[in-house]
Amino acid sequence: MNDNKLAKIIINTVLLIIMLIWILPTLGLLITSVRPAAEVSSSGWWTIFNSPLKITQFTLNNYDKVLSVNNMDIAFRNSFIIAIMGTILPVGIASFAAFGLAKLRFKGRMVIYGIIVGLLVIPLQMTFIPILRIFNTLNISGTFFGLWIAHTGYGMPFAVFMLYNFFSNLPDDLFEAAYIDGASMWTVYYRLALPLSVPALASLVIFQFLWTWNDLLVALIYLGGTQDVAPVTVRLANMVGSYGQNWHVLTAGAFISIIVPLIIFFSLQRYFIRGILAGSVKG
């Protein structure tokens, strides 16, 4: 019994240390973002704990400058437009594909599934030039639609792989009973498969939204310098050059950009563990 208690103490201590290691950079970013430029350049962020009640060492001017001068409000709108549609499209299409591959019996379905899973190993960088040429031919580069298509294509293999494992573990007897009762394929998908797969869908939404929201490379490639639809990540990358000496402003912009992913994660966290374990255990 004492050994079990000692093991729990060690595990909890290790977890606490790991948690602090992950939290400290974010805490430092937050504190730096609300400090005046003079104090940022003269002392480290941890020095505020010497006099934590001193109000004069905090300011919101950095946030005001980011939102008013650098059009970060427009960039936020663009990021929402890109991330929301860049999440809905692949998750919606992948749920159709995964359900069909998992529960419909037709010739060659495992070959199709194998090809889709095989796409996971292809580096994104290999696709940039040919896809960009296609986008330029279709005149959709530098548009929201082009970014939606790109994020949908890049997110599809993982989405199908994840949802296929979940749908495969749903009992076939349940679907067969629905078919016997006269339910159509669409009814079975909409009334049974989707409600039962909420944990997997929520986890997939978290993964896809975070990847799309935090993406910089795909946006830089397919925007082609168009700033009207530039997301937050592109604006922050431009701030690195524009505010190389005033990096306290950059910390404010960076902290603003992580607020939305944190809200999405914590609002769906109760589904997260259930979803990432979907399909890992049979029966």
Task: Report d(CA 267, CA 283) in Å as an integer.
Answer: 29
Nearest to 233 by CA among 244, 246, 220, 223: 220
Q: What is the CATH number of domain 64-276?
A: 1.10.3720.10
Write a three-state SS string for 46-81.
HHHHHCCCCHHHCCCHHHHHHHHHCCHHHHHHHHHH
The single-letter code of the amino acid at 84 is I
Model pLDDT for residues 166-192, shown as the tens digit of each residue: 888 888 888 888 888 887 888 888 888
In this prediction, residue 277 carries a pLDDT of: 57
How many Cβ atoms are within 10 Å of 107's Cβ, its own excluded?
6
Contact yes or no for 205/226 (Cβ under 8 A)? no
Contact yes or no for 250/236 (Cβ under 8 A)? yes
In this prediction, residue 274 carries a pLDDT of: 61
In this prediction, residue 89 carries a pLDDT of: 94
Q: Would you give the end-to-end CA distance of the chain in angstroms?
A: 33
Nearest to 78 by CA among 257, 188, 259, 231: 231
In this prediction, residue 54 carries a pLDDT of: 64
Task: Report d(CA 234, CA 236) in Å as an integer.
Answer: 5
**Domain boundaries, given as residue ranges, for the chain:** 2-59, 64-276
Nearest to 33 by CA among 12, 53, 48, 22: 48
Mean pLDDT by runs of 10 across the 283 residues of the chain is 75 88 84 78 74 68 75 84 93 90 84 88 88 90 90 92 86 82 83 84 87 90 80 80 64 82 77 58 44
